[in-house]
Structure 1
Amino acid sequence: MKVQQIRQAAEVSALEDWGTAGLPGTEPSRVSGRQYVIPGHEAIDTGVFECSPGTYRRSVKQAEVMHFIKGSGTFTPDGEDTVRFAAGDTLFFQANTEGLWNIDETLRKIYVIF
């Protein structure tokens, strides 16, 4: 199959519970998602990701593109200015990007990790 389709990603309901993320002393965010495998290209990780409001640190080990389809928040890369995002925005992360996520409104994104 040369074309992988995620139909109505904003409404995908069969998300798996991926646990929590949060800084000590803060309300943890609930994290869930659904991974889609591209046959023959298993090294590319793609899918739907959802996260409830909260604040947490994350290290993006591999390059990642994400397109937000719901929600809003900020990401502050270590040593750089804060980036505000909302539904409709797309971000690209270089490999080994570290920083602080602050999710204001439950977000949902489509992601591709290279």
Structure 2
Amino acid sequence: MKVQQIKQAVDVTALEDWGAAGLPGTEPARVTGRQYVIPGSEAVDTGVFECSPGTYRRSVKQAEVMHFIKGSGSFTPDGEDTIRFTAGDTLFFEANTGGLWNVDDTMRKIYVIF
């Protein structure tokens, strides 16, 4: 199968519990998701990711593209200005990008990690 379809990704259920993310002394955000793999292309990580409100640090080790399909918040790359996002926005991350996520309203995104 060369093409996988995620129908109505905003409504996908049966997300897996991927744990919690948060800064010390803050209420941790809950992280869930569902990974989709195209056989033969396992090096490309794709899927649906959802995160409840919260603040946490994350470093993107590989290049990533993400398209937000619900929610809002911000990402502040280390040493750069804060980027606000909302449903409908797309972000492109260079490999080895670190920074601070602040999720205001539960966000859901489609992601592709190269």
**Length, aligned pairs only:** 114
Which structure 1 residue ranges, 4+ long, deviate > 6 Å from structure 2?
none
Structure 2: distance between partners of 1:2 and 1:12: 21
Residue of structure 1 in register with 2:76 after alignment: 76
Residue of structure 1 in register with 2:58 after alignment: 58
User: TM-score normalised to the size of structure 2?
Assistant: 0.99
Residue of structure 2 in register with 1:85 after alignment: 85
Q: Does 1:108 align with 2:97?
A: no
Structure 2: distance between partners of 1:6 and 1:59: 26
**SS of structure 2 residue aligned to 1:20:** strand
Question: How many angstroms does 1:113 deviate by?
Answer: 0.2
User: Percent of aligned positions with the same letter in both sequences?
Assistant: 85
Question: How many angstroms does 1:4 deviate by?
Answer: 1.1
Residue of structure 2 in register with 1:98 after alignment: 98
Question: How many angstroms does 1:80 deviate by?
Answer: 0.3
Amino acid in the other structure paired with 1:72:
S
Amino acid in the other structure paired with 1:61:
K
User: TM-score normalised to the size of structure 1?
Assistant: 0.99
Stretches of structure 1 lacking an aligned partner (at least 5 in a row): none
Structure 2: distance between partners of 1:36 and 1:3: 11
Residue of structure 2 in register with 1:4 after alignment: 4
Stretches of structure 2 lacking an aligned partner (at least 5 in a row): none
Structure 1: distance between partners of 2:6 and 2:40: 18
Question: How many angstroms does 1:71 deviate by?
Answer: 0.1
**SS of structure 2 residue aligned to 1:40:** coil
Question: How many angstroms does 1:2 deviate by?
Answer: 1.5
Structure 2: distance between partners of 1:78 and 1:25: 21
Structure 2: distance between partners of 1:14 and 1:35: 11
Residue of structure 2 in register with 1:23 after alignment: 23
Question: How many angstroms does 1:90 deviate by?
Answer: 0.3
Residue of structure 2 in register with 1:13 after alignment: 13
